[in-house]
Structure 1
């Protein structure tokens, strides 16, 4: 793979991670949830061949408990 192809592939991986973050934000918002620190980990995007990681970040206890509620509702087949 030549340098141009590697850069393009790296950009595609970062774009895919950005899309995933946007989808997560949108999906969580539908349940009234917001993870303020949700983002792409910048360190994982460094270098010539980045391997982006989605950083779900930190949240307060209320948000963590709400996430648990949403997951339990989905598991039980109830959509709130």
Structure 2
């Protein structure tokens, strides 16, 4: 039986991917965490994945910029 929250999780994943892209940030392994898709009692988890130092620096800068308003 498919998990009921998969479409919602995919929509949030795409929104996050778009928001990151607006800041020039790409997380290559951004996706739904496969083990979380096996459960039927919770919403799937979004795996942010690994990134290199430049991407981590850009992500931190974007978050600081957003927090500063």
- TM-score bracket, normalised by the shorter chain, equals 0.7 to 0.9
Gaps of 5+ in 1: 1-6
Q: Could you list the runs of 4 or more consecutive aligned residues of structure 1 that deviate by over 4 angstroms after TM superposition? A: none
Q: Deviations over 1:22-59 (max 9, x none)?
A: 11111100000000010001111114x15310000111
Query: Which stretches in structure 2 are left out of the alignment for 5+ residues?
Result: none
Normalised to the residue count of structure 1, the TM-score between the two structures is 0.75
Question: Higher relative contact order by CA 8 Å / sep ≥ 6: 1 or 2?
Answer: 2
User: How many residues end up aligned between the 2 structures?
Assistant: 68
TM-score by length of 2: 0.86
